[in-house]
Chain A
Amino acid sequence: EAAVTQSPRSKVAVTGGKVTLSCHQTNNHDYMYWYRQDTGHGLRLIHYSYVADSTEKGDIPDGYKASRPSQENFSLILELASLSQTAVYFCASKPGLGSYEQYFGPGTRLTVL
């Protein structure tokens, strides 16, 4: 069974502070994704990566940076957290570029005050 873990599971941050969300997968998957979910809505893609040391912008990248230091790890960085970034963040992975199921982590609930 594919395994994607996220840390922390929840976090409270102050406006203007730096936040780092971490994702770790043990699936040996090439592709990793960061999505955000706002209350009452579906998920939207922030950043993704298909190889270590490289990241790509998704649909809503503004205010976020991503880092892929290794195949297993993918981080989402909020340099200056804002109230509008309060959301639940999900990480996902999949094997490669072809059509494959994406495996999701449990999510991180971020509250910016």
Chain B
Amino acid sequence: GDQVEQSPSALSLHEGTDSALRCNFTTTMRSVQWFRQNSRGSLISLFYLASGTKENGRLKSAFDSKERRYSTLHIRDAQLEDSGTYFCAAEAGGGSGNKLIFGTGTLLSVKP
């Protein structure tokens, strides 16, 4: 079936550094959402993209508008509060009510 491959699976950053997470899709996707899961287990929606890029503070996400087969999440000037598990989820369209297909997550640890 359709798959979402998320990388890296774990990432350790020092405060103030930049990094990027990536999701590759095995097929063309209609849209992508990015989430951060906090220590309490809640899913915090960061971005929803049907195309192009969006930016919110130190976070920026892009969805490949041409092939629609990958998305990235850039973290600029990482802070301690950015720590958590990040998930991308893509919408394939068609069956299953346009379900979201989730990646396996990136465990981000930001250190002083």
Contact residues of A with B, CB < 8 Å?
Answer: 31, 33, 35, 40-45, 48-50, 56, 58-59, 88, 90, 92, 94, 97-99, 101-104, 106-107, 109
A58 — which chain B residues lie within 8 A by C-beta? 96, 99
Query: A107 near B97 (CB under 8 angstroms)?
Result: no
Q: How far is the CA of A107 from the CA of B6 in the complex (A)?
A: 22
Interface centre among B43, B50, B105 (most CB of A within 10 A): B43
Q: How far is the CA of A88 from the CA of B37 in the complex (A)?
A: 12
Q: Which A residue's beta carbon lies closest to that of B97?
A: A48
Contact residues of B with A, CB < 8 Å?
Answer: 1, 4, 6, 30-31, 33, 35, 41-43, 45, 48, 50, 87, 89, 91, 93, 96-100, 102-105
A99/B45 contact (C-beta < 8 A), A44-B102, A48-B96, A56-B97 known? no
Q: How far is the CA of A41 from the CA of B42 in the complex (A)?
A: 14
A56 — which chain B residues lie within 8 A by C-beta? 96-97
B105 — which chain A residues lie within 8 A by C-beta? 40-42
Query: B42 near A97 (CB under 8 angstroms)?
Result: no
- Closest chain B CB from A70 CB (angstroms): 18
Known: A33-B97, A41-B105, A99-B91. 6 other contacts (CB 8 A): A42-B103, A42-B104, A43-B89, A43-B102, A92-B100, A101-B31
- Closest chain A CB from B48 CB (angstroms): 4
- Closest chain B CB from A88 CB (angstroms): 6
Q: Which of A97, A99, A103 contacts B97 (CB 8 A)?
A: A97
A43 — which chain B residues lie within 8 A by C-beta? 87, 89, 100, 102
Query: A59 near B99 (CB under 8 angstroms)?
Result: yes
Q: How far is the CA of A99 from the CA of B63 in the complex (A)?
A: 14
Q: How far is the CA of A98 from the CA of B97 in the complex (A)?
A: 9
Q: How far is the CA of A41 from the CA of B85 in the complex (A)?
A: 10
Query: B99 near A33 (CB under 8 angstroms)?
Result: yes
